[in-house]
Amino acid sequence: MAENRIFSGVQPTGNLHLGNYLGAVKRFVDLQEKNAECIYCLVDLHAITNWQEPKDLTENTLEVAAAFLACGLREKTSIIFNQSQVKAHSELAWIFNCVARIGWMNRMTQFKEKAGKNKEAASLGLYCYPALMAADILAYHATHVPVGEDQKQHLELTRDIALKFNNDFKVPNFFPVPEPIIEGTATRVMSLRDGTKKMSKSEASDMSRINLTDEIDLIARKIQKAKTDAFEIPEKREDLINRPEAENLLTIFSSLTNKSLDETIKIFCGSDFKRLKTELADLLIEELKPINQEVKKLLKDKTYLKSVLKEGSEKARVIADPILEKTFEIIGMVK
């Protein structure tokens, strides 16, 4: 994978949870180990598309940085930084605001969901969020982007922006058209309280999610209390239709053990949820306990965390600044 350049972003808006871990950070680590050039960004500019308490934004940015490191990302191997410190992101985003069409933005389902009923009151930033995301990726000429299912549409928009720019300015292949990497059993971890909703830091009940900072007894309790149904674990995957909570717990188990869902079903078929929950809680604790301890340790040294981000942003600038310069030149900006 040597010629590939991976870019991905995570919003520093709160604790990372199991969904972020299995769906994103764990895969970031795998890609790092495959020797690809990896750039992982804490997208603080995206975070403020909804108002953030400044103290919380600072705290959350450092917490996610700590979680990245605790999960196995290495600052010497991957580039880890926060978006606002590399100006190329905002500057290229402006250019892309002028490339993307309003019609494209109007099709974004995430905007519709996040803005809710009162679209007039949503921030303009929330509306042009996908152009900033395109800038994140294209400022590095990234070739591959690990994202969850919910970001697929934004990545398609990024591809459209790259193609339109290349075409409008007659610079074929200047911006590479990036590929999404959507893989893994648990790209979508669902809420423990409602298997039809994604596990999310914005859901009111903390019992709906496992946070990377949860203590072990709390993890055990959350799994024991997770919603299930009255049937036993079936023999076949097809029988999980309309049983989203059962499917979710089995999926999490599969992801933690690197098994397919079918293999996991074979292990548990015919038994009740008690056995699955006990084994799942044990596994989760084994996996998350060292991470939890490491996050706590790292958070005691904020100076170190800040220095990691600072060095990361310096390395990021070395890649992004010349690409931005070249973009200005292509457009005809006088220097």
Query: Sheet holding 37-42: strands in order across?
Result: 79-82, 37-42, 5-10, 144-146, 179-181
Contact call for residue 11 and ligand TRP (CB under 6 A): yes
Tell me the C-alpha distance between 298 and 304, whole Å: 8
Q: Which two tokens stand for residue 304?
A: 């170190």
Which residue lies nearer to ligand TRP by CB, 41 or 256? 41
Tell me the C-alpha distance between 298 and 63, whole Å: 9
Handedness of CA 185, 187, 193, 194 (dihedral sign): negative
**Min separation Cβ 255 and ligand TRP, Å:** 18
DSSP 208: G
Contact call for residue 67 and ligand TRP (CB under 6 A): no
Tell me the C-alpha distance between 240 and 129, whole Å: 36
Contact call for residue 12 and ligand TRP (CB under 6 A): no
Q: Which residues are catalytic?
A: 114, 198, 201
Asked whether the beta carbons of 209 and 175 are under 8 A apart, the reply is no
Q: Which two tokens stand for residue 58?
A: 């600072």
Q: Which stretch binds ligand TRP (CB under 6 A): 1-9, 56-64, 239-247, 305-313?
A: 1-9
Q: Which amino acid is at 329?
A: E
Asked whether the beta carbons of 171 and 224 are under 8 A apart, the reply is no
Contact call for residue 136 and ligand TRP (CB under 6 A): yes
With contacts defined by CB under 6 A, how many residues of the chain interact with ligand TRP? Answer: 13
Q: Which stretch binds ligand TRP (CB under 6 A): 50-58, 64-72, 144-152, 197-205?
A: 144-152
Q: Which stretch binds ligand TRP (CB under 6 A): 133-141, 189-197, 227-235, 257-265?
A: 133-141
* Residues composing the chain: 335
Contact call for residue 7 and ligand TRP (CB under 6 A): yes
Answer for which of 29, 138, 145, 199 binds ligand TRP (CB under 6 A) is 145
Answer for which of 27, 46, 193, 277 binds ligand TRP (CB under 6 A) is 46
**Min separation Cβ 11 and ligand TRP, Å:** 5
Return the residue matching tokens 């495959």.
34
Site for ligand TRP in 304-323 (CB under 6 A): none
Which residue lies nearer to ligand TRP by CB, 108 or 265? 108
Chain residue whose CB lies nearest ligand TRP: 9
Answer for which of 57, 73, 88, 133 binds ligand TRP (CB under 6 A) is 133
Q: Within 13 Å and on the Cβ side, how many CA atoms surround 145?
A: 30
Q: Which amino acid is at 76?
A: K
**Min separation Cβ 237 and ligand TRP, Å:** 28
**Min separation Cβ 68 and ligand TRP, Å:** 14
Handedness of CA 65, 70, 72, 76 (dihedral sign): positive
Short-list 262, 275, 195, CA closest to 235 = 262
Contact call for residue 253 and ligand TRP (CB under 6 A): no
Q: Which two tokens stand for residue 50?
A: 């909804």
**Min separation Cβ 30 and ligand TRP, Å:** 16
Surface-to-core class of residue 217, CB atoms within 10 Å of its CB (0-12 exposed, 13-18 middle, 19+ buried): exposed
Answer for which of 49, 151, 254, 255 binds ligand TRP (CB under 6 A) is 151
**Min separation Cβ 101 and ligand TRP, Å:** 20
Radius of gyration of the chain (CA): 21
**Min separation Cβ 153 and ligand TRP, Å:** 10
Contact call for residue 9 and ligand TRP (CB under 6 A): yes
Binding site for ligand TRP (CB under 6 A): 7-9, 11, 43, 46, 133, 136-137, 145, 147, 151, 154
